[in-house]
Structure 1
Amino acid sequence: MASWNVQSNMADSFKSEMHSSRCFLCEKYLSVPPIMIISSDGEEQKCGRCREIKTEINVRNTFYEKMARMTEYPCIYEDCEEKLRWGEVESHEEVCLHRTMNCPIFEECDETIKISDLASHFDSEHSGDLYYETYDVMGDIFSEMMTILLLSHGKPYLIKSGVTEDNYSCQVFALHPDGNRKYELKIFSEVSENFKLLFEGETIFFKENEHCFKCAARECQERSHWNSTLYQNSPPISHNVALIDINVIKFALKSPDFHTTFIVKNDNISSSDDSKVSKNFLSNNNTVLIDRILQCPVCEETMSSPIHICPTGHSLCNNCKSRLDSCPTCKDPFGDTRNFSLEDLADNAELPCQNENEGCNFFGNVEVLGRHQVDCER
C-alpha cells in the first residue's frame, strides 16, 4: 500500500509539473508537439502552435514528449472542461465551443470574444459590419478597407478586403473547421446590367496566430503570432487572396460606380447564377466579355499578348500595331507602351469554347482557346 501511495504521489507531482510548464511564446500548455528547447539554459521552450516562429536555438525535447503521453491536459479555453490526451489537443482547440479570438475590428475594439458569441458582439458593437447570407455593397468598392462578418448557412465567415493602387484584394475566412467552401464575388454596374464579372475563390480556416488582422496591418506585437512585427520586417504572406485588377474592372464596366454581391456557397447549393464561373474572371455572357474588352478595334480579332496602348488609352493588337503609326481611334502616335492589364486578362482568364452550347467543355485563355477552336469538332 505504501509503495502504491508513493507511486501515486509521484504521478500527481509529475502531472502538476507538466501542467505548470508553459510555452515561452504563447504561454499555453506545452501540449502540442513538437516541443522545442529554445534557450541555452533549457528553461525556455516552445510548443507546436508556435512552430513557424523562428528561434536561434531549436532542440527537440523528446524526453518531455514521451512523458507527456502519460498525462491528460486541460483545454486552453476558459469554461471548457475537456481533458485531452497527447495528440488530441490541437484538433480539439479548432472545434472547441469556447474558442476565442480578438475582435477583427481592432481599430475600434480590443475585446477578446468567444467565436460562438461573435455575431452577438457584432450586432451590439459593429452592426454596420454584420451581414446575413449575402453581402451587398453599392457604390465604389475601391474606396476603403473593410472587415465584414457574414453569417451564411448558419456559420460565420470573415471577409477581409482592401485596395492598393493596382488591385482590389479579398480574403474569406471560415470561423468553423468544416468551412471548406467556395465563395463568389459578383461585380457589376447600372450602366451594364447584363454584364457581370464573377470571381470564385476558396475560404480559409481562421487561425489567429497565423491570420491575425493586426499582423496583416503591421500593427501586431504578439509574441505568439507567426507574422508579428517582432519577427518579420516584411508583410505576411497571404494565401487564397483574390486579386482583381482595378483598371480591367473599370474598363469592362464603363462606370466609376459598382455594385458587388458576395455569397458563400453551400456544398449542396449551386451558384446564384446559372452561368459557369471560371478560376479567374468570367462573365455571365462570355461573348460580351471578349467583344467589349479584348477585341481589337481594327481587325476585330481577340487580342493576346503583346497588347499595345496609345497615350489616350486605346488598345491594339500586335499585328495591327506593326502596320500603323498612329492610333486609328484618336490619331495619337503609338509608342512602345503595352497594356499589361489586358495582357494579364488575356493570359489568365479561362474562357469557354465558342461551341459550348453544342457540348464542348473546353476552357482556356485567349491564346490556347484560339488554337483549340480551329480544330474543335463540336
Structure 2
Amino acid sequence: MGSTYPINTLVSHFKEKHKNHMSSNEYQLDCIALGAHLRLILHKGLPYLLFFYENKINIWISVYSVNTEDNDVMFQIQFQSVDTNKSLVFQANVTPFDDQEHCLNCLHHICSNNYHKYSKVGSNYDIINKSMEFSVEKSYLSSLLSCKHVYYTVNIMEETEDSLQKSLIRNLECPVCKMPMSAPIFRCRKGHAICNICSKKLTKCPLCKSQLTNSRCFALEGIAQDIELCCSNKKNGCTFTGNVNQCIAHENYCSVKPIHNLKM
C-alpha cells in the first residue's frame, strides 16, 4: 500500500533540515549533478517532490504529488545551453507519490525494505529509472543545443489542453519560415536546424552565420514523425490529429478552415 506523507510535516522538515533544497514553483539544476537527488517544490502552497537521477549518459526526472487534493498540474523541463540562447522544453505528468515505487533509497540502490518494489533485496531494482516520467540522453541535448554544458529548470504548471502541443511546435519551428519542420531537416556546422525548403534558399545559418551542411538532424526528424499534433483549426471545431507532415497535408483542405472574404 502506498502512503501520503503529512503535508505540514514534510514542508517543516525541509524548512528545518534542507532549506537549500526547496523552492517555490521551480528549481534550477546543472547537468553535472551525478547521482540521485530529491528536492521540494512548492506550487500554490502545495508541496511536490522532485526526483532526478543522472549518470554520464542519461538524465531521469519525475515529480510526485504528496497532496490529497486532486490538482490538474504537470511539470515542465527547460534545457538551456550555457553558450548559446538555444533551449528545449519538455513536459510530463505529475504522479501521486507511492513509497513502494518512489523511495529515494531505492533510487540510490541502498534500500532494504522488503515491501519496496526496487529495494536491494528485490530482483528488479535496476529498472527504477525506467519507471520515471521523463528521461533523455545527454548526447541528444548536446547535439540539439550545440553545447556540452547544459543546465535545466523544472517547474510545476497548470495542465492545459494545448500546453504540450505548443512546447513541441516551438522546438520544431524553423528559424526562417517559422513553420514546424519535418524530414528532411538539415543543420549548420554548429548544429542549428533548418527546414528542407529554407535550406535550399540559403547557404549560411540564419542564427550563427556558419555554413549550412547536408547533415541531417535525425533526432528532430524522429520527434516530428512521432508526435501527435492537433489541427490549427481546432478552435473552429476540427478534431484531426497527426504528425507534422499529416497536419500540414490536412490543413490544406481542412473543412473548417476559416474563409476570409475580401472586400472589393
Normalised-by-shorter TM-score class? 0.5 to 0.7
Measured in 1, the distance between the counterparts of 2:186 and 2:122 equals 43
TM superposition shift of 1:148: 0.8
Aligned to 1:143: 32
TM superposition shift of 1:340: 3.9
Distance 1:367 1:333, change over 3 A: closer
The one-letter code sitting in structure 2 at the alignment partner of 1:141 is D
Measured in 1, the distance between the counterparts of 2:176 and 2:140 equals 8
Distance 1:197 1:216, change over 3 A: same
Is 1:370 matched with 2:248?
yes
**What is the aligned counterpart of 2:111 among 220, 232, 237?**
220
> Equivalences for 1:1-378 in 2 at 5 Å?
49=1, 94=3, 116-132=8-24, 134-137=25-28, 141-144=30-33, 145-165=36-56, 167-179=58-70, 181-187=72-78, 189=80, 192=85, 197-233=88-124, 235-237=126-128, 238-239=130-131, 241-244=133-136, 246=138, 249-250=141-142, 256-258=149-151, 260-265=153-158, 276-278=162-164, 281-282=167-168, 286=170, 289-292=172-175, 302-304=181-183, 339-353=217-231, 362-377=240-255, 378=257
- Of the two, which has the highest radius of gyration? 1
Of residues 241-250 and 215-224 in structure 1, the stretch that sits farther from structure 2 once superposed is 241-250
Measured in 2, the distance between the counterparts of 1:127 and 1:223 equals 31
Contact 1:280 1:349 in 2 (8 A): no
Contact 1:180 1:202 in 2 (8 A): no
The one-letter code sitting in structure 1 at the alignment partner of 2:119 is S
Contact 2:73 2:93 in 1 (8 A): yes
Distance 1:333 1:264, change over 3 A: closer
Show structure 1 runs of 5+ residues with no match.
1-48, 50-92, 100-113, 320-327
List per-residue Cα deviations over 1:247-281 (Å, max 9, x = no partner): 5555555664546250143xxxx76xxx9312694
Task: Please give the TM-score of this superposition, normalised by the length of structure 1.
Answer: 0.50
List per-residue Cα deviations over 1:181-215 (Å, max 9, x = no partner): 422315265954xx864433222221212221221
Measured in 1, the distance between the counterparts of 2:180 and 2:69 equals 46
Contact 1:294 1:303 in 2 (8 A): no
TM superposition shift of 1:141: 3.3
TM superposition shift of 1:171: 0.6
Distance 1:290 1:214, change over 3 A: same
Show structure 2 runs of 5+ residues with no match.
198-204, 258-264
Aligned pair count?
243
The one-letter code sitting in structure 2 at the alignment partner of 1:227 is Y
| Residue aligned with 2:173, SS | helix
| Residue aligned with 1:123, SS | helix
Task: Please give the TM-score of this superposition, normalised by the length of structure 2.
Answer: 0.67
Q: Percent identity?
A: 24
| Residue aligned with 1:215, SS | helix
Aligned to 2:261: none
| Residue aligned with 1:370, SS | helix
The one-letter code sitting in structure 1 at the alignment partner of 2:102 is H
Distance 1:346 1:245, change over 3 A: farther
Contact 1:294 1:342 in 2 (8 A): no
Distance 1:217 1:308, change over 3 A: farther
List per-residue Cα deviations over 1:50-84 (Å, max 9, x = no partner): xxxxxxxxxxxxxxxxxxxxxxxxxxxxxxxxxxx
Measured in 2, the distance between the counterparts of 1:197 and 1:312 equals 16
Bigger proportion of residues as strand: 2
Aligned to 2:201: none
List per-residue Cα deviations over 1:300-327 (Å, max 9, x = no partner): 99332x76789975778899xxxxxxxx
Contact 2:144 2:191 in 1 (8 A): no
TM superposition shift of 1:154: 3.2
